Amino acid sequence: MAFFSISLTNPNQVALPVLFKSGRAFPEGQWRTAARRMVELHPMLRGLFRRDDQTGTMTYDIGEHPLHDHYRFEQHHVKDFATAMSMLPVLLLELDIEKGPLSTFHVFDLGHEQYFFHCVHHLASDYLSYKVFAEDLTRLLLDQQVEPPTVSCQAWAEYLHQTAQDLDLDALTVPPPLPDLAVSLRGEVAMPESTPGGRNPECLVCLDISPSTLTSAANRFGATPIELLVTALHVAYQEVFHFNVMGLAFMTHGRQPVGDTVFDLSRTVGFFAHYVPVVLDAPRTAGFRTTLRHTQETLGTGIEDGVKLTLVRYLRDFTDPTQRRPYEIDPFFGFSYLAPTEASVPSDGHQPLLLEQPDAMTELRAHRADTSPHPFELAVTHEGDRLNLLVIGQNNKGIPLMMQRLLSVWSETVRQMVTIPELM
């Protein structure tokens, strides 16, 4: 199973690990060879991120460096599954996106069964990639031919995007599905023991708003769907809490436009998963449309430098107080938006790279209580022709009445901006 690990203070802990259970035992040499060939085949597993000290931006470099600089393989002989799981937090710390390795491979040999642990830094992979990795790993273990899927980062992104289009989203299950690996591997639900089970408490409002209806409403306002939804949230927050400023930890999966180094948070849909601190600030008396313009400035070009600095912040702590100051906020809310294909393809010619699976993200939220630094997660997902607005709390804690009130006002604001925009 793929699960999520994130630390806002240590970039090496921001990782996408996955654990497979082998359907049969393989010699260590066979595992080691398969891991090496995986890195040879997939450029995203052997690149490094380089920081430009002058501009503060990051570049992704796939250089002609020795393969051993970019991945690590190790086999562990352990007595039981619990021992293997207890080792995972330490293994996550091996990742270093500037020095390497960017990905690690570990085999846990229990004698009677084997588990394969694959961990990739979140800036180099995503959940759908594991479908590709699992398929290739199966073929490599069986010494079958695997055609290289990519020749560059851009080709890799396009390959993943095309893979997403070919998936039957209605047939997917939770956790993120693995292909039929009955020959050599099969997916196992395996979470770290320290992660509490069960779902987090949540409040949900379902609106009869289809993706196309939301997109049409956004077009009328000259905005994107996510800009409308965030603006409605800010308006609701002002009404309920009587504060102008709202801090969000924006869980974005930012699309990097071709030929550009700036992330546009208003059109996020997949690939570069990270948290970005976002501060929404508009006068309570400004009205919906003025607040929308403030939101667009924040999520679009207005946060251009902020996004660059945020990416650097995950790589190295700031020493310059003038750079650190914008990120000393402690957002009370996390926020995420999962867009369907038809609602997320922008009109500016930039195609989104990848789709997230709403059910998979719900599963991740349910298991993220220990790692989420935010008391509440605010989320938007699409389910067929319905729009879901959620407030998700921490494990074993209910949703307070004020948060239920926020959800109610937020949903009513969304309904009005879609059905009677002339009143906004």
Per-residue b or e along 272-291, where b marks 16 or more CB atoms closer than 10 Å to that residue's CB: bbbbbbbebebeeeeebeeb
The residue-averaged pLDDT of 306-314 equals 33
What pLDDT, on a 0 to 100 scale, did the predictor assign at position 83? Answer: 87
In angstroms, the CA 134 to CA 186 distance is 9
Q: Is the pLDDT of residue 275 over 80?
A: no
**Is residue 175 reached through a cis peptide bond, with omega within 30 degrees of 0 on the bond before it?**
yes
Please state which of the ranges 97-106, 123-132, 256-265, 293-302 shows the lowest mean pLDDT: 256-265
Pick 170 or 407 by higher pLDDT. Answer: 407
Q: What does the pLDDT look like over 201-226, one tens digit per residue?
A: 778 888 889 888 988 898 899 887 88
Q: What integer pLDDT is reported at residue 235 of this predicted model?
A: 93
Percent of the chain beyond pLDDT 90?
Answer: 9
Q: What is the pLDDT of residue 248?
A: 77
Helix axes 401-419, 225-241, angle to 10 degrees: 130
Cα separation of 358 and 384, whole Å?
11
Angle value at C-alpha 306, between 301 and 307, nearest 5 degrees: 80
Q: What is the pLDDT of residue 273?
A: 41
Alpha carbon distance 414, 424 (integer Å): 10
Q: Which two tokens stand for residue 256?
A: 């990097």
Residue type present at position 229:
L
Q: Which CATH number does 202-423 carry?
A: 3.30.559.30
For 399, other C-beta atoms within 10 Å of its C-beta total 17
A 10 A CB-CB count for 8 gives 18
CA distance 298 to 227: 10
Q: Which of 228, 210, 207 is nearest to 408 (CA)?
A: 207
Q: At how many degrees (to 10) do helices 211-221 and 401-419 cross?
A: 70
Confidence category of residue 413, pLDDT binned at 50, 70, 90? very high
Question: Rounded CA gap, 305 and 313, in Å?
Answer: 12
11-187 placed in CATH 3.30.559.10: yes
Q: What is the pLDDT of residues 43-100, one digit of tens each?
A: 667 666 555 566 544 455 555 556 656 788 999 999 988 888 788 777 877 777 666 6
Buried residues in 163-193 as b, exposed as e (16+ CB within 10 A)? ebeeeeeeeeebbbbbeebeebbebeebebe
The pLDDT score that the predictor gives to residue 310 is 35
Instruction: Say what the pLDDT of residue 267 is.
Output: 44
pLDDT tens digit string along 333-390?
778 776 553 333 344 443 332 233 344 444 444 434 334 556 777 888 777 788 888 8
Give the integer Cα–Cα distance in Å for 390 and 163. 29
Spatial separation of the C-alpha atoms in residues 352 and 339, rounded to whole Å: 10
Residue pLDDT, tens place only, 128-147: 455 567 677 878 888 887 76
Tokens of 194: 């320290």
Q: Is the pLDDT of residue 231 over 90?
A: yes
What single-letter DSSP state applies at residue 2? B
Query: Which sequence spans correspond to the domains of the chain?
Result: 11-187, 202-423
Query: Is residue 329 predicted with pLDDT exceeding 60?
Result: no
Q: Is 251 left (phi over 0), alpha (psi -120 to 50) or beta?
A: beta
Fold match between domain 11-187 and domain 202-423:
yes
Mean of the per-residue pLDDT values of the chain? 63
